[in-house]
Structure 1
Amino acid sequence: MMSKKTLHPSIQKFKQFVKKHPKLVTEVREQRKNWQELYEDWYLLGEEDDVWNQYKSDSDRKEEEKKDKSDFMSTILSAVKGMDYTQVQQHISSFGEAITSIQQIMSQFRGSDNQVNNQAPQQNQPFFFNKD
């Protein structure tokens, strides 16, 4: 009688991982990868690495995208709920004042550039002759 060997716990976890990522089987069958490479990558990178997303079934991938979108929206909503609108208004006002100051400085530089540009053609002559 042959007794059934029990697999190492990490190999059992890897088998469960492969069940969640059925496209890995296709990779091996089409000889693009072998099980040893996949196991080593899984062991080193872990299950949560982005490299595994391409091997998930399409329905699992869509569910994960929906979950990510809902997590993002809940984060945004919680941030909006926690805002102090008077502080936001003050920051926007000070930001507007900073932009106005920058615009004034830029216009001053443009004014001085125009003055230099107007004088430059008179000083730069294409042919310069010294008188003896």
Structure 2
Amino acid sequence: MTYKRRPKDIHNLPEVADYRRNLRRNLTPAEARLWTLLKGSGLAGRKFRRQHSVGRYILDFYCPSEKLCVELDGEGHYMLPAVSYDANRRRYLERCGIRVIRFENETVFRSEEWVLDQIRNEFGWRKKKLNKM
């Protein structure tokens, strides 16, 4: 008999718990700054989680009510292996019904309000998509 995970079981898998915990303890400066703005339902009352896993992927920030992933990219994300990895990751998350938006680390510091506006603009994206059909 083979055990198959139900879709809800792909979140925060126990096998990556220690790795996620380590990432939460060692946020990049940009992640730490954005987290201070998002934590405690700080953005339009939406709750965000940091270093949340979906399948084998760990998301910088995840809003469960909106099924929205917010990723911050440093220099390493523009090298060929990372570009391919990020594309595969995006496809996987989108198949799971999760929308992904990305920002460069520096943008968080230079244009904090713009970043928050872009995140807010994504709220309700699923309803907007259904209304267009």
Give the TM-score normalised by structure 2: 0.25
> Larger % of helix: which?
1
Q: Which has the larger radius of gyration?
A: 1
